[in-house]
Chains A and B, each alone.
Chain A
């Protein structure tokens, strides 16, 4: 009984169907354990690993410089910026927008640096639903290759104050 004290020596290895289940469950856990590292070798989608320390002011500086040298247009007064394929791009999360709008080419790889000017934010690319966490003081580098084209939205999915549900941005991917 689960509410009474077992007396004597109750040690006993599992038998019968209990043993079968423990074995099956263990095997399944092993499969799951192997899948994660395996995907690092075989899969194309892994959590970005590159991070640099950065002061928010310094990061904001880099973003402005990036916008100045690469701006190609404007959308609702927000600059549209086109980085070199294979090159670095900068994306700033701040209360409450993702800045600037990025213009990318399909099937080209970019190093997008993401950081925050103020609070924590959550970068979410919609509708493909890819999400990473953004912290002030951390320059998080996504090496990203868009495989579909069109206009994509960026939203924020970490609470960042009363205007959190106004925090959006755009990525435009051309063929």
Chain B
């Protein structure tokens, strides 16, 4: 057999992008994405039940099942759905974008098996009722050993995928499968993978001794030390999610509008800031913990300066700015926002990513930095303001961006077309809109002090009675309604994806069908091919629309931030 035929069997050329898709890697992109979506369904069912329980006029579940579902939801969403999907992104970004085969198929199989077994074991033991300890499993609370073991197996699997990813980058470089520097999307994925290694090592340090303790082979770890280490996993994981999400923003911006990063130095510099300045910020979660000094807390939340926040603010500008430049080059030059109205809003991949950026920035980012301020955290710790914040980052931001990517993965990697395209067009709005409503309901209920992870917000039956202002209960209703809408959006996503992947019309040998008019698609294609030639060339950047958008953002940020300081000044004095 000549080397040519061997090669021909190893990859196919994508009809849409002209990139090489290596079939072995393609299998792992597919299987990880499918598994991700299955765990999204499990977490989603739990989500609906939770929303209908926190809605204080409904209170669907009983107390035991509420707490069990909080555990089930947190683990399946934040760990299994998100990380399986990120594994798919790592396989894609390291092979297709670098024009190389992956380093080791054996390792890929091993890691997949570990992750799958880990996820199944963890779910089994939670549903069996022997791990009602929440995602965080803070000792002295103790779960069945299989709970920790399942998560450890899953994490080891993910670590192996990261290793396979780095090894693939290495062989691509060594075999010179590409010229110049790696693409920005791969650079972002590499950022995520580096942070993942650090996160998983912290996770091992927290969970391995805890597993041994649950087996009776070791003393219990100090609860404060556990929190410090566990959040080294928990917080860093959010940085993985942010880096992966931003990479998806760049990818979809290019595919849907033909956008080209304005300045590779700035975009890559911002990714490097994530690696350098976010790693120790687990302190966000420990701001009102005993045993830690204020100096330590302040230093570790800000590293003396909020340079990781700066990185996100930079991406928040460069992504829309690159789209503005692309749209203006297509001739949409009317006024400051003419280009904005003409963006491909009919493309669900695009609208998901656009909404993701808006929700992540305006709600998730602003609340996150504010609540993560040492003193302001006194008004927020463990209240519903916290899930209100992170449902705007990891759900409205990361999950929605991943959904947007899925609208590209299905035609490009699975080579299947969607049914019900009208419904697909509204899906991101339904899911994003529901999450925004729920997040606002949680946040406002939380400002009254309504706690998270609590079955009955009125503590009915307690020896010393208590309760909340009726307005807080209205916001719990808003939480419930938003949650139901988001669940419908999530279910619609699953239906669309499953229908396309398993029953959809084949797109083998065809270009990806466009969501835009043919004329617009042609202009986008032209920009993409032109952008390739123009790589490295300078052209003048004028982005008046984006500058206005980011200034509105900065203003909202400042108002929210200082309003919280003002509210803090009304509290009892404490130190």
Q: Which residues of B contact A9 (CB under 8 A)?
A: 536
In Å, the complex CA distance between A168 and B538 comes to 64
Partner of B543, one of A17, A130, A153, A155: A17
The closest CB in chain B to the CB of A173 belongs to B572
Q: Which residues of A contact B536 (CB under 8 A)?
A: 6-10
Q: Which residues of B contact A134 (CB under 8 A)?
A: 290
A24 and B290 within 8 A (CB):
no
CB distance from B518 to the nearest CB of A (A): 21
Q: Which residues of A contact B540 (CB under 8 A)?
A: 16
In Å, the complex CA distance between A169 and B375 comes to 24
The closest CB in chain B to the CB of A10 belongs to B264
Q: Which residues of B contact A119 (CB under 8 A)?
A: 138, 140-141
Interface 1/0s, chain B 538-575, versus A by CB < 8 A? 10111110110010001001100100010011011111
In Å, the complex CA distance between A2 and B330 comes to 18
B183 within 8 A of A: yes
Partner of B180, one of A8, A118, A155: A8
Partner of B381, one of A16, A132, A165: A132
In Å, the complex CA distance between A49 and B132 comes to 32
CB distance from A110 to the nearest CB of B (A): 10
B340 within 8 A of A: no
Q: Which residues of A contact B460 (CB under 8 A)?
A: 165
B453 within 8 A of A: yes
A3 and B314 within 8 A (CB):
no
In Å, the complex CA distance between A4 and B223 comes to 47
The closest CB in chain A to the CB of B301 belongs to A36
B260 and A168 within 8 A (CB):
no
B290 and A51 within 8 A (CB):
yes
In Å, the complex CA distance between A145 and B571 comes to 10
Question: Considering residues B561, B569, B575, which has the most beta carbons from chain A within 10 angstroms of its beta carbon?
Answer: B575
A45 and B382 within 8 A (CB):
no
B466 within 8 A of A: yes
Given the known interface contacts A3-B97, A32-B561, A45-B574, the answer about A129 and B383 at a Cβ–Cβ threshold of 8 Å is yes
A69 within 8 A of B: no
A64 within 8 A of B: no
Partner of A18, one of B298, B382, B447, B541: B541
Q: Which residues of B contact A142 (CB under 8 A)?
A: 574
Q: Which residues of B contact A75 (CB under 8 A)?
A: 464
Interface SS of chain B: loop
B380 within 8 A of A: yes
A45 and B451 within 8 A (CB):
no
Tell which of B80-88, B111-119, B302-310, B487-495 binds the partner: B302-310
B448 within 8 A of A: yes
In Å, the complex CA distance between A25 and B381 comes to 27
Interface residues on B, range: 35 or more
Residues of B268-308 at the interface with A, using a CB-CB cut-off of 8 Å, are: 286-291, 293-294, 297-298, 301-302, 304-307
CB distance from A73 to the nearest CB of B (A): 13
B17 and A3 within 8 A (CB):
yes
A124 within 8 A of B: yes
Partner of A47, one of B294, B453, B459, B468: B294
Given the known interface contacts A33-B302, A36-B375, A144-B572, the answer about A168 and B307 at a Cβ–Cβ threshold of 8 Å is no
B287 and A47 within 8 A (CB):
yes
B574 and A124 within 8 A (CB):
no
Q: Which residues of B contact A137 (CB under 8 A)?
A: 222-224
Residues of A142-157 at the interface with B, using a CB-CB cut-off of 8 Å, are: 142-148, 153, 155-157
In Å, the complex CA distance between A26 and B383 comes to 30
In Å, the complex CA distance between A47 and B255 comes to 47
Partner of B377, one of A18, A20, A44, A47: A47
CB distance from B545 to the nearest CB of A (A): 10
Q: Which residues of B contact A76 (CB under 8 A)?
A: 463-464
* Other A-B pairs, 4, CB within 8 Å; known A1-B261, A158-B453: A5-B178, A47-B297, A120-B138, A131-B383
30 contacts between A and B (CB under 8 A): A2-B185, A4-B531, A5-B181, A7-B536, A10-B181, A12-B264, A17-B541, A18-B266, A18-B317, A28-B313, A33-B306, A37-B298, A43-B569, A47-B288, A47-B375, A119-B140, A120-B141, A124-B383, A131-B378, A133-B286, A138-B291, A139-B290, A140-B291, A144-B573, A153-B464, A155-B454, A158-B453, A164-B67, A164-B454, A166-B463
